[in-house]
């Protein structure tokens, strides 16, 4: 049976458009449920208070600030390393070189590892090996670094988000015209000067895109910090890098599974989820605004 091409085209448009609308509708429904369940519980005391009475009352301020510090340290560790790796892959080794293919294979493999495995790696490498070695070397074996804390949790999360940063930055660097590099080298600049003054400024929007994606991925992950730094309950903020911290995603998990009264914590769970979404969107919008500002300044 011959079907007219125009009907085939309309059918494809209908299916693809329907899929897009269903995706947007699903997101709106999820956000709507979270807002409906949590908006009524948001208040100044909830935002600025600490959990009380088995976490069935009180606020989530320690969890908000713990999540913020985690994402900040994770970005400070992961984005520079990811950017440097992407520069090496694109500027110093070719697409077909054995070293480049080996690194890309490692990055792709890293992207496919389950998040819980990163947590176990952080426990074994950062806490037991690095932290234990530092305690033996500098503190005579007394416990300082060989325990879960915000530094090890942030470094573990930076490993989790590293493939996202590398791929995003490398794709951005590839879009820089070759003529700009050749012009810079022809004028006497070294390769390092060309990268620093030509390639990196032209790729800054891609670097910020990688940071945005890393923030979105890192802010919502719980498994890697289970073993490396997150605490069940802390009334105060961490004082240093060796302190544990509360995290919004882990706080939601604890209230939904470990609370003495799960039903009583449901409004807090919805409100905490809403705050986590707002915090993630705020960090994303800040990075998007910075990217827009840099792009606008570049085209002036």
pLDDT value at residue 1:
62
Residue 117, both tokens: 């495995």
Q: What is the pLDDT of residues 250-290, one digit of tens each?
A: 888 888 887 777 777 888 889 989 998 888 888 778 777 87
- Which distant-in-sequence residues (6+ apart) come within 8 Å of 238 by Cβ? 66, 69, 149, 150, 244, 245
| Most confident of the following: 54-58, 150-154, 258-262 | 150-154
Residue 194: which of 284, 186, 237, 297 has the closest Cα?
186
pTM of the model: 0.83
Q: What is the largest CA-CA distance in the chain?
A: 83
d(CA 100, CA 111): 17
Sign (positive or negative) of CA dihedral 188, 189, 190, 195: negative
Query: Helical H runs in the chain?
Result: 5-38, 44-48, 61-87, 98-111, 115-121, 132-138, 150-174, 178-186, 191-194, 200-220, 223-226, 248-257, 262-298
pLDDT band at 299 (very low <50, low <70, confident <90, very high): low
Task: Name the percent of the chain lying above pLDDT 70.
Answer: 97
Residue 218, both tokens: 């890192």
pLDDT value at residue 176:
86
pLDDT value at residue 260:
74
pLDDT band at 233 (very low <50, low <70, confident <90, very high): confident
Q: What is the pLDDT of residues 182-212, one digit of tens each?
A: 899 999 899 899 999 888 888 887 788 778 7
pLDDT value at residue 88:
92
């Amino acid at each position: 049976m011959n079907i007219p091409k125009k009907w085939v085209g309309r059918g494809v448009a209908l299916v693809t458009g329907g899929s897009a609308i269903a995706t947007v509708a699903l997101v709106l429904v999820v956000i709507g449920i979270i807002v409906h369940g949590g908006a009524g519980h948001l208040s100044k005391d909830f935002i600025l208070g600490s959990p009380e009475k088995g976490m069935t009352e009180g606020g989530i301020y320690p969890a908000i600030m713990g999540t913020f510090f985690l994402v900040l340290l994770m970005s400070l560790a992961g984005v520079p390393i990811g950017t440097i790796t992407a520069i090496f892959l694109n500027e110093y080794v070719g697409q077909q070189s054995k070293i480049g293919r080996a690194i890309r294979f490692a990055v792709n493999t890293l992207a496919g590892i389950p998040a819980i495995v990163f947590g176990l790696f952080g426990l074994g490498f950062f806490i037991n090996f690095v932290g234990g070695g530092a305690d033996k070397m500098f503190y005579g074996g007394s416990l300082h670094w060989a325990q879960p804390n915000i530094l090890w949790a942030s470094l573990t999360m930076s490993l989790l988000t590293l493939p996202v940063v590398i791929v995003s930055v490398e794709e951005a660097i590839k879009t820089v015209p070759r003529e700009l590099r050749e012009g810079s080298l022809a004028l006497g600049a070294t390769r390092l000067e060309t990268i620093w003054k030509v390639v990196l400024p032209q790729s800054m929007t891609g670097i910020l895109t990688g940071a945005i994606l890393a923030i979105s991925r890192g802010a919502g992950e719980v498994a890697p910090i289970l073993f490396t730094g997150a605490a069940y309950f802390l009334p105060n903020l961490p004082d240093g890098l060796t302190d544990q911290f509360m995290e919004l995603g882990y706080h939601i998990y604890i209230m939904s599974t470990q609370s003495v009264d799960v039903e009583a914590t449901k409004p807090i769970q919805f409100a905490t989820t809403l705050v986590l979404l707002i915090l993630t969107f705020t960090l994303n919008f800040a990075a998007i605004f910075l990217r827009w500002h840099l792009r606008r300044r570049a085209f002036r």
